[in-house]
A and B are shown apart, each in its own frame.
Chain A
């Protein structure tokens, strides 16, 4: 039990209720399921590892490079994502509805094809090359190393920050902004003194997401020739399994350290929940002349993250369509499968981590931290490791064998791998229901379910759908688990892109990628933006 720290009427402090047994057991189960792959990797690494000294020598460099890249990318994504979120939710930026869709889309391209298309854009004849030429800059001959990895990954990961922070911003009560402005604060001062404290938890959780994503990313770092720990996991998986498992275990440990650090730093929320709700549409800050540079920022980010890769993909696709080599009809089934599994995974992920969010926010139960650590474990290890671990677990557990390579297991794999993306938003959703509102509704409406449907859910929705949106956008591009764990003959747009790209069928890869972007844009708009970020 945490005692209230601020002098305020007792009825206004959130009442912390000890988590009851059902919730604690659910949390433990959720944490266990999510942590299973990482724990299995640690166990196998321990069993296989021979001599630790040469292993440490071999992995030291890649670990350091992984950390450098992850720190750079997560900080960049935090700044870019927050700035865009603020512009898109709090200001009268022209065309913001369109920007809201466009600016989350860089997340959907599988990184191997996104990075390849980006690099192709830099090549002679590519859009970026032509643009740089036009302004008199000689493009670099080689696009490689830390700087290249930083640019590509930042351009593809800032939506991890943009979506949750936008959702949080749209639930900050307008009255606070009004008060700050009435007291004579400038928009900037209002942002620093009112907005930042409110988005702090969201921002920290989503920056952590980008950090962990970068840690386990393969496609882009491989293409820009940057040797990270995850690359070692893959490169040594066939011929040197102790090294492969050792590197994967090290990733899991590094991730656990970062997650624990973030939870400790985060501490208790700085802001006590205001008892008024944010459902009153807020007035927007008028940008005035600043709309020009603001639009330029949005355009620049969209160009790097979306336009450059799309232009290259479009060029590949157009060549294929012109010569009649690509059959769009073959992509209809994969497109449908992509939509179905990603929506299922998103919904299930939001629900699966909700007990953990509940225990951690409402009850501040110490076990919730442990469960959250388990959830993070699923995100921090590479997709291939998740796939093989789940294969091992289902094949060797008597009752689970029948789920091996079923659609159900595939969706579970997505949830285990991406559930962390829904945890931060779920926690935020819990915080969005003010305690007095909860109590007042309990007095007025005796039916718990009607209360949840009419009071809690409407307040929680923006954050819940933002979390679901992140899971959805990650699932549409997932590859290793889809290839190994799906029912046989099942294919998604991501697997279609992969197969085409692997053997140099760039035209087909281009068409399938454009279709993936289109499907994701439609789903994002229909399910996430239209319902979530109103106003």
Chain B
């Protein structure tokens, strides 16, 4: 029985370690609250990556004196975490910034978002905000076709995603069926063209041997190395690839205005229920929609600004905003049905 007393010893060591971890952390937290800045702190759960959003958040702090604390992650994972927090009545996030409407849709459907102040909502046109006023879009990415000019001639470039079911495109197109923005695009197609036409299009794409990828990045990389000739993605990625590697061969092609393949996918901002600092949260969202915030998204991340009266950067082709018939508000809720249609067509939703 020589080891009889080891076990309690190990057990106490584990407990001590755990207690140290917790205790040490409390000290940090205590220190932070002791040095509480005058204008408070706003906690952000951001589905947008640090590279893309931290410069504008720093500007916000410089301008308002409100400190920001950010947890970065995938929009869907953060939405699930906010769901757990809100369900337990322990909300830690003041603002949720999502890459796409889908993740916000989950929280909206389960009633975990609080209405935004009127003056914040008024900063954007009606078609890029929730009809119940629970979230606003703050930047947009257009759906485009990325193509490899060595494999696709100018003359071949289609006007609509519906042209891609032509046998001429057999086995040449990449999509990301499990990706949120592809699913948002399909949801838009359902809204503008109807469920039947959408299901037929998905079936025809599968019959035309469309190739599935994990996400937008993977498609752009695959097009660049000639694995597929073209792919359906958000416009923004190819710009980033070109900065990384000027010899990157792929180019973006815009479908005609009004085609579901030219949908504008909005990023969204919302305030979770039970947020500790909703005033600062609203202030932050208003800042993202201010002139300097919107210019940042237009010029630094090549996205489309959404606030009324803002123009995109010269690097991206203009889109006719008023014309684009986007039912953004409908994009969130109908995602389950969208995914069922995608998997029903035999794709890996």
Contacts from A to B (Cβ < 8 Å) = 17, 20, 22-23, 26, 29, 58, 116, 119-120, 123-126, 141-142, 222-223, 225, 227, 231, 234-240, 316, 319-320, 344, 348, 351-352, 354-355, 358, 362, 384, 387-388, 391-392, 395-396, 401-409, 411-412, 438, 442, 448, 451-452, 480, 483-484, 487-489, 495, 499-508
Q: Is the CB of A227 within 8 A of B217?
A: no
B217 touching A504, Cβ below 8 Å = yes
- Contact among A119, A411, A448, A483 for B2, CB-based, below 8 A: A448
A388 touches B10 (CB 8 A): no
Q: Please tell me which stretch of B82-90, B157-165, B259-267, B283-291 contacts chain A, meaning at least 4 of its Cβ atoms lie within 8 angstroms of it.
A: B82-90
Contact B7 A355 (CB under 8 A): yes
User: Contact at A392–B10, with CB atoms within 8 Å?
Assistant: no
Chain B, residue nearest A411 (CB):
B21
Q: B343: which A residues are within 8 A, CB to CB?
A: 58
The 8 Å CB contact of B24, one of A407, A488, A499, is A407
Check: B240 CB closer than 8 A to any chain A CB: yes
Q: Are A392 and B84 in contact (CB under 8 A)?
A: yes
Is B256 interfacial (CB 8 A cutoff)?
no
A364 to B: closest C-beta gap in Å: 15
With beta carbons under 8 angstroms apart, the residue of A316, A351, A505 that contacts B14 is A351
- A sample of 15 cross-chain residue pairs with beta-carbon separation below 8 angstroms, ordered by A number, consists of A120-B221, A126-B225, A141-B227, A223-B214, A231-B348, A239-B339, A316-B244, A351-B14, A355-B10, A362-B3, A387-B77, A396-B88, A403-B25, A452-B3, A483-B71
- Inter-chain CA distance A489–B267, complex, in Å, is 22
Does B220 lie within 8 Å of A351, measured CB to CB? no
Contact B7 A26 (CB under 8 A): yes
Known: A240-B336, A403-B21; 7 extra A-B contacts, CB below 8 A, are A120-B221, A141-B226, A225-B348, A239-B335, A487-B28, A488-B43, A502-B49
0/1 string, B276-314, CB within 8 A of A gives 1: 000000000000000000000000000000000000000
Encode contact with A along B70-107: 1 for CB under 8 Å, 0 otherwise.
11111011111100110010101000000000110010
The chain B residue with its CB closest to the CB of A485 is B81
Q: Which residues of B contact A26 (CB under 8 A)?
A: 7-8, 10-11
- On whether the beta carbons of B92 and A504 are closer than 8 Å, the reply is no
| Interface membership of chain B positions 154-192, coded 1 if the CB is closer than 8 angstroms to chain A and 0 otherwise | 000000000000000000000000101001000000000
Report how far A402 CA is from B18 CA in the complex, Å: 12
- CA of A401 to CA of B51, assembled, Å: 31
B22 and A402 contact, CB distance less than 8 A? yes
Question: How would residues 327 to 341 of chain B score, 1 for a CB under 8 Å from any chain A CB and 0 otherwise?
Answer: 000000001101110
Chain B residue numbers with a CB within 8 Å of A411 are: 17, 21
CB-CB < 8 A to B7: which residues of A? Answer: 22-23, 26, 355, 358
Interface size on B, residues (CB 8 A): 75
Most chain B CB inside 10 Å of its own CB: which residue of A23, A352, A442, A503: A503
Give the docked Cα–Cα distance between A384 and B102 (Å): 18
Q: Bound complex: CA of A335 vs CA of B112, how far in Å? A: 36
Q: A238-B79, A352-B14, A407-B21 are in contact. Are A223 and B244 (CB under 8 A)?
A: no
Are B4 and A20 in contact, with the CB atoms below 8 A?
Answer: yes
Q: Is B5 an interface residue (CB 8 A)?
A: yes
CB contacts (< 8 Å) of B79 on chain A: these are 238
| B245 x A319 contact (CB < 8 A) | yes
Are B73 and A412 within 8 A (Cβ)? no
Q: Are A412 and B77 in contact (CB under 8 A)?
A: no
Q: 1/0 contact trace for B206-227 toward A, CB 8 Å?
A: 0000011110011011001111
Helix, strand, loop or mixed for chain B's interface? helix
Q: Could you tell me the distance between the alpha carbons of A352 and B7 in the complex, rounded to whole angstroms?
A: 10
B1 contacts A by Cβ under 8 Å: yes
Q: Which residues of B contact A225 (CB under 8 A)?
A: 211-214, 348
**Residues of A contacting B224 with CB < 8 Å?**
123
Whole-angstrom distance from the CB of B271 to the nearest CB of chain A? 17
**Residues B18 and A358 in contact, CB atoms below 8 Å apart:** no
CB of B258 within 8 Å of the partner chain: no
Is the pair B3, A402 in contact by a Cβ cutoff of 8 Å? no
Q: Complex formed: what's the CA distance from A513 to B123 in Å?
A: 41
Given A502-B217, A503-B240, A505-B244, A239:B336 Cβ within 8 A: yes
Is B152 an interface residue when CB atoms closer than 8 A count as contact? no
Query: A238 and B102 in contact (CB under 8 A), knowing A392-B84, A499-B49, A507-B244?
Result: yes
Per-position 1/0 for B10-30, Cβ under 8 A of A = 110110011111101110100
Query: Closest 4 CB pairs between A and B?
Result: A408-B21, A123-B225, A504-B240, A395-B88
CB distance from B302 to the nearest CB of A (A): 11
Closest Cβ–Cβ distance, residue B140 to chain A (whole Å):
16
Task: Tell me whether A395 and B217 are in contact in the complex, defined as CB-CB below 8 angstroms, given that A141-B226, A488-B70 are known contacts.
Answer: no
> A408 touches which one: B22, B212, B221, B237 (CB < 8 A)?
B22
Contacts of B8 on A, CB cut-off 8 Å? 22, 26
Q: Which residue of A lies closest to B214 (CB)?
A: A222
Q: For B102, what are the chain A residues with a Cβ–Cβ distance below 8 Å?
A: 238-239
Q: Give the complex CA separation of A391 and B71 in angstroms.
A: 15
> Is A500 within 8 A of B77, CB to CB?
no
**CA of A505 to CA of B52 in the docked complex: distance in angstroms?**
10
Instruction: Please state if A480 and B244 are interface contacts (CB–CB under 8 Å).
Output: no
B126 on the A face (CB < 8 A)? no
Taking the complex as formed, is B349 at the interface, i.e. its CB lies under 8 A from any CB of chain A? Answer: yes
A387 CB contacts on chain B under 8 angstroms: 77, 81
Please state if B227 and A401 are interface contacts (CB–CB under 8 Å): no
User: What's the minimum C-beta distance from A122 to chain B, rounded to whole angstroms?
Assistant: 8
Cα distance A20–B213 in the bound complex, in angstroms:
55
B residues in contact with A237, CB < 8 Å: 76-77, 80
Asked if A484 meets B77 with Cβ closer than 8 Å, knowing A239-B335, A403-B22, A451-B2, the reply is yes
State in angstroms the CA–CA spacing of A227 and B213 once bound together. Answer: 11
Please report the C-alpha to C-alpha distance between residue A116 and residue B213 in the assembled complex, in whole angstroms.
Answer: 12
CB pair B81 A354 closer than 8 Å: no
Q: Known: A142-B211, A235-B349. Contact between A391 and B84, CB under 8 A?
A: yes
B50 within 8 A of A: yes
Q: Does B58 belong to the interface (CB within 8 Å)?
A: no
Given A20-B1, A236-B349, A438-B2, the answer on whether A489 and B69 have CB atoms closer than 8 Å is yes
Is B322 interfacial (CB 8 A cutoff)?
Answer: no
Q: In the complex, A503→B72 CA distance in Å?
A: 13
Cβ distance B109 to chain A, nearest Cβ, rounded Å: 10
Contact of A406 among B22, B84, B213 (CB under 8 A): B22
Which residues does chain A contribute within 8 Å of B220, judged by CB atoms? 504
Q: For B336, what are the chain A residues with a Cβ–Cβ distance below 8 Å?
A: 239-240
Which B residues between 51 and 71 are near A, CB-CB below 8 angstroms?
51-52, 69-71
Report the minimal beta-carbon distance from A386 to chain B, rounded to whole angstroms: 12
Q: Are A391 and B22 in contact (CB under 8 A)?
A: no
The CA of A143 and the CA of B8, in the complex, are separated in Å by 52
Residues of A contacting B17 in the complex (Cβ-Cβ under 8 angstroms): 344, 348, 408, 411
How many Å lie between the Cα of A98 and that of B110 in the bound state? 55
- Whole-angstrom distance between the Cβ of B81 and the nearest chain A Cβ: 5
- A231 to B348: give the CA distance in the assembly, Å: 9
Asked if residues A392 and B218 are in contact (CB atoms below 8 Å), the reply is no
- Residues from chain A with a CB closer than 8 A to the CB of B80 are 237-238, 388
Contacts of B72 in A (CB 8 A): 483, 495, 499
Residue among B24, B211, B227, B343 with most chain A CB within 10 A: B227
The distance from the CB of A65 to the nearest CB of chain B, in whole angstroms, is: 11
Q: Least Cβ distance of B19 to chain A in Å?
A: 8
